[in-house]
Amino acid sequence: MKKALLAVLLVSAASASYAADVSPTCQKYFDSVENFIEMAKAHPEAKAQVDTLKTQFEQSKTQITALPAESQEQACKPALDAMEQVTAQLKAAK
């Protein structure tokens, strides 16, 4: 279950990107992913996935810096929605 959720998050991170002027939706998404990564670091069994996630996430953030605000919103909104679903599922599983 956790691997499936992580896979969803990885896909979301790969589809999103980061700009000098980040849209509010993208900033919220980035903050959510960064919090998720910090929480995941507490689980040694997830180390390899966390490292991969962090690398892909940083690449995505770099890509968004080149996008106009409207494109950022289009990229980040579905990713934020997916991140919120993952977070809700993880909280429900506790």
| Cα(89)–Cα(80) distance, integer angstroms | 14
Polymer length of the chain: 94
Q: What is the pLDDT of residue 11?
A: 46
* Structural domain boundaries, residue 9: 2-84
Residue 91 lies in a domain: no
Q: Are 19 and 26 in contact (CB under 8 A)?
A: yes
| Cα(23)–Cα(93) distance, integer angstroms | 31
Structure tokens at 47: 């180390």
| Cα(61)–Cα(30) distance, integer angstroms | 8
Q: What is the pLDDT of residue 93?
A: 75
Residue 78 lies in a domain: yes
Residue 90 lies in a domain: no
Tens digit of pLDDT for each residue in 30-87? Answer: 999 999 888 888 888 888 899 899 999 999 999 977 799 889 999 999 999 999 998 8
Residue 92 lies in a domain: no
> Residue holding tokens 């934020």?
80
Residue 46 lies in a domain: yes
Structural domain count of the chain: 1
Q: How sure is the predictor about 90, in pLDDT bands with cuts at 50, 70 and 90?
A: confident
